[in-house]
Homo-oligomer: A and B are copies of this chain.
Amino acid sequence: MPIKRNKAQTHQRIVEAAYRLFYRQGFARVGVDVIAARASVTKRTLYSHFRSKDDLLSAVLVHYSELQLARLQVIGDRMPQEHDAMLDSFFGQLAEWAGKPRWSGSGFTRLVVELADLPGHPARAIARRAKIATEDWLAQCLKKARVSSPGERAREIMLLMEGAMALMLIHGDRAYADAAAAAAKRLINQRR
| Chain A residues close to B by CB (< 8 Å) | 24-26, 28-29, 102, 104-105, 108-110, 112-114, 116-117, 119, 124, 127-128, 131, 152, 155-156, 158-167, 169-172, 176, 179-180, 183, 186-187, 190
A165–B164 Cα gap in the complex (Å)? 12
Q: How far is the CB of A178 from chain B (nearest CB, A)?
A: 10
Complex CA–CA separation, A166 to B137 (angstroms): 19
Q: Find the B residue at minimum CB distance from A161.
A: B163
- Across the interface, which residues of B come within 8 angstroms of A171, CB to CB? 128, 131
Q: Which of B29, B109, B117, B170 contacts A25 (CB 8 A)?
A: B117
Q: Is the CB of A156 within 8 A of B179?
A: yes
- With beta carbons under 8 angstroms apart, the residue of B25, B119, B160 that contacts A159 is B160
Cβ contact within 8 Å between A159 and B169: no
Chain B residues with CB under 8 A of A117: 24-26, 102, 104
| Chain B residues within an 8 Å CB radius of A24 | 116-117
Question: Which B residues touch A108, using CB under 8 A?
Answer: 170
Given A113-B113, A113-B169, A159-B183, 12 other A-B contacts at CB below 8 A?
A: A26-B114, A28-B29, A104-B113, A110-B116, A112-B166, A112-B169, A112-B170, A127-B170, A128-B170, A155-B176, A159-B164, A162-B162
